[in-house]
Amino acid sequence: MKAGIVTPISGGIIKATASNQQAHRMLICASLADKETYIQCNETSDDLYTAMESLNNTGAKIRYDGGGFEVKPIRLPSATEASAPFTGVNKNGVLTLSGENAYQSLSGLLPALALLKTDSVIVVEGREELKAKTYMTIDAMELFGVKVEREARDDGGIAYKVAGNQKYISPGTIKIEGDWTNAAIWLCAAAIGGEGVICSDLNRFSRQSDKEIVNILERFGAIVAYKGDSVAVRRSNLRSIRIDVAEIPELVPMLAVVAAATQGQNVIYNAARLRLGESGFLHTISSTLNELGADVVENSDGLIINGKQRLKGGTVSSLGDQRIVMMTAIASGVCEDTVAIKDAEAVSKSYPGFFEDFEKLGGKVINSM
């Protein structure tokens, strides 16, 4: 599918989608609980359907009813039986991980370790990156009554201690909070054009690292205000800045668009994981924006973006990546000509309702095969 962006968004009020990251963690914990749990979640995505299918294959019974997930838990074995799959992996109760990608293993291991017969310790060596994702896992576990201790070590590492023989106790009903990553799309769009956007259902004290978007947009010079669970952003004269994205890599595409609309040179740094770890994603961002008329240079650590305020527009390919679809659609707000996106259906992976919300905010989209 090719989506032609005829008119960029003008502004308005939009409700944040439910957090995919939080929902995924709650589904895991609910599947390990003592009784049924209902997870209020008004939106879903391909990623969440994949997680649901995987958990159903392990013995859970999860159904999405349009407003949330009904989760009937797995019939858990005893702690003695449960310890068997981890023999060798968790030798002597201690597992060592590298800080660079520890969050990926921690999110899967921590919930399971609480079910073992014995206590466990995971040691993270070196600088622990993307630790907010691990905090979200621990928060989900604690909501179900399962404790994890996090301690700093003398050698600079971090130790996660999980007592064995714990039980997941269902809280009954859970409401998934708003997704800051998806909300950042509309807040960035408001910073570069239109009459402003108010995004509601956001927890300003969330563990989600991407809530940092508000502070960054203020640094760019956008007008930002909080009211209750809503954030309002309006454009102003944008200035160039330097942005450390080590803890917020998912914001890089949208930040690059805002940077392209500034005056002066912007630097996005500590983004090497996007160059090496995600199939050259930094190159995809830079080349896509350059096709639209931006001036973006990729280096080993991030991007240097020379703001041009206005781009020319044109046709680009998403390469099957939902982030490129959304980045390009938002970039239409500073393009002189129409923007068209090949393979725009990739948005269904994390934000199936993206184009519907785009039009709610005054944008116009023409879909064609």
- What is the identity of the amino acid at 263? Q
Per-residue buried b or exposed e for 224-253, using 16+ beta carbons within 10 Å of the residue's own CB:
beeeeebbbbbbeebebbebebeebbbbbb
pLDDT greater than 60 at residue 279: no
Question: Tokens for 163?
Answer: 């007592």
* Mean predicted confidence (pLDDT) in 343-355: 93
Give, as one character, the DSSP assignment of residue 91. Answer: G
* DSSP state string for 272-321: HHHHHTTTSHHHHHHHHHHHTT--EEE-SSSEEEEEES-B--EEEE-TT-
Calpha distance 163→168 (Å, rounded) = 13
Tens of pLDDT along 166-187?
A: 999 999 999 999 999 999 999 9
Report CA 272 to chain centroid distance, whole Å. 18
Question: Tokens for 285?
Answer: 């961002």
- Percent pLDDT > 90 in the chain is 81
Tens of pLDDT along 131-154?
A: 999 999 999 999 999 999 999 988
What is residue 198's predicted lDDT score, i.e. its pLDDT?
98
Q: Which residues contact 81 (CB under 8 A, 6 or more apart)?
A: none
Among 88-97, 142-151, 355-364, where is mean pLDDT lowest?
88-97
Q: Which residues contact 272 (CB under 8 A, 6 or more apart)?
A: 300, 301, 302
Per-residue buried b or exposed e for 156-187, using 16+ beta carbons within 10 Å of the residue's own CB:
ebbebbbebebebebeeebebbbbbbbbbbbb
What is residue 299's predicted lDDT score, i.e. its pLDDT?
92
Torsion angle defined by CA atoms of residues 304, 310, 311 and 313, in that order, rounded to the nearest 10 degrees: 150
pLDDT band at 93 (very low <50, low <70, confident <90, very high): low
- What is the identity of the amino acid at 287? S
Mean pLDDT of the chain: 92
Instruction: Give the residue carrying structure tokens 């895991």.
Output: 28
pLDDT band at 80 (very low <50, low <70, confident <90, very high): very low
* Mean predicted confidence (pLDDT) in 278-301: 91
Tens of pLDDT along 243-260?
A: 999 999 999 999 999 999
pLDDT band at 211 (very low <50, low <70, confident <90, very high): very high
pLDDT band at 92 (very low <50, low <70, confident <90, very high): low
pLDDT band at 353 (very low <50, low <70, confident <90, very high): very high
What is residue 368's predicted lDDT score, i.e. its pLDDT?
63
pTM value surpassing 0.85: yes
Residue ranges and CATH numbers for the domains of the chain are: 2-17+178-368 (3.65.10.10), 20-174 (3.65.10.10)
- What is the identity of the amino acid at 143? L
What is residue 84's predicted lDDT score, i.e. its pLDDT?
41
Number of residues that make up the chain: 369
pLDDT greater than 60 at residue 217: yes
* Mean predicted confidence (pLDDT) in 47-64: 96
pLDDT greater than 70 at residue 88: no
